[in-house]
Amino acid sequence: MRLTRFAPYLFVLLWSTGFVGAKYGLPYADPFIFLSVRVFIAAFILFIIARLLKTKILIGKQAISRSAIIGLFLHAFYLGGVFFAISQGVSAGVAAVITSLQPVFVSLLAVKILGEKLKAIQFVGLILGLIGVVLVLGPTFDSATSGIGIAGVFIALIGSTTATLLQKKIGGSIPMLAGTAYQYLASGSVLLVAALVTSGTHIQWNIHFIGAMAWLILVLSVGAVLLLMWLLNSGSAASVSSLFYLVPPATALEAFFLFGEKVNTQGFLGIGITALGVWLVIRSSN
């Protein structure tokens, strides 16, 4: 089907804009309250969509608790870690490189936890993807990044890895719209507590912040996350996770066209190697 072939690349395109949205929005709001408001609004939108489509909203205690656990790792830990790190001065490039280690961890753990088989050519593809990402974003590393910010990125890495495995293992049977909405309710509550504990509740409502918020809610929290859930339910954890390798190169290209940030020859070489690696993983999993 055309949708099945096109969906992975649409996901990469949508997901890669998250760093752009963060760059626009974070100067006007503290990270945890920013995310809390974002996911609460996204939950409300998904419940409305589910109601209009006449799909289940009351999905049972077990499904709600499973959704809450997945949401805690995917939205509170992953997004919270990334936004906190960027707010502490970690560049989007460094954050992207570290979180792009996720496909390696997911693929190796999926063999044991999910019983998935990892072919030799897929392993080669994963290594090529990692090499390509480092080539693209290697020049962005510097010694000025804070230790607490880097710790936030590693928390994000743990969160995204765990959420991917949990969604594949226990989330496949949960109705997608309502399940994702409950993910947001749970993670939004945790993020709100984090904002209150850290006294980080400042939001400056202006056109730039509202624009960034609208984009992150509609394109990322609704569009990209629902697409991610669908991909995980219909494909292997390893093949879906490998798509995250394409996110940093896509972000680099977006920054080149939108902000004039230069991509050198090494960067373009890295983009090509990354694309080859992901193609090997996806092709071998079909």
Using one digit for the tens of pLDDT, what is the confidence trace for 41-50? Answer: 999 999 999 9
C-alpha distance from residue 155 to each of 5, 81, 101, 186, 242 (Å): 32, 6, 12, 18, 19
**Coil, helix or strand at residue 29:** strand
Token pair of 39, please? 């996911």
What is the helix (H) or strand (E) element at residue 238, kind and residue range?
helix 237-241
Instruction: Return the pLDDT at 141.
Output: 55
Mean pLDDT for the stretch of residues 164-190: 91
Instruction: Return the pLDDT at 248.
Output: 73
Using one digit for the tens of pLDDT, what is the confidence trace for 205-253? Answer: 999 999 999 999 999 999 998 888 888 887 766 677 777 777 777 877 7
Mean pLDDT for the stretch of residues 125-148: 69
Q: How many domains does the chain have?
A: 1
Instruction: Return the pLDDT at 263.
Output: 61
Residues in the chain: 286
The rounded distance, in Å, linking the Cα atoms of 133 and 101 is 9
Q: Which residue has the higher pLDDT, 237 or 151?
A: 151
Range of lowest pLDDT (132-141, 171-180, 205-214): 132-141
Mean pLDDT for the stretch of residues 162-180: 88
The rounded distance, in Å, linking the Cα atoms of 216 and 50 is 20
DSSP annotation of 203 reads B
Amino acid (1-letter code) at residue 182: Y
Q: Which residue has the higher pLDDT, 16 or 114?
A: 16
Burial of 258 (0-12, 13-18, 19+ CB in 10 A): exposed
Instruction: Return the pLDDT at 10.
Output: 87
Q: Which residue segment(s) compose the domain that 280 sits in?
A: 2-285
Mean pLDDT for the stretch of residues 162-186: 90
Is residue 137 over pLDDT 90? no
SS (H, E, C) 130-182: HHHHHHHHHHHCCCCCCHHHHHHHHHHHHHHHHHHHHHHHHCCCCCHHHHHHH
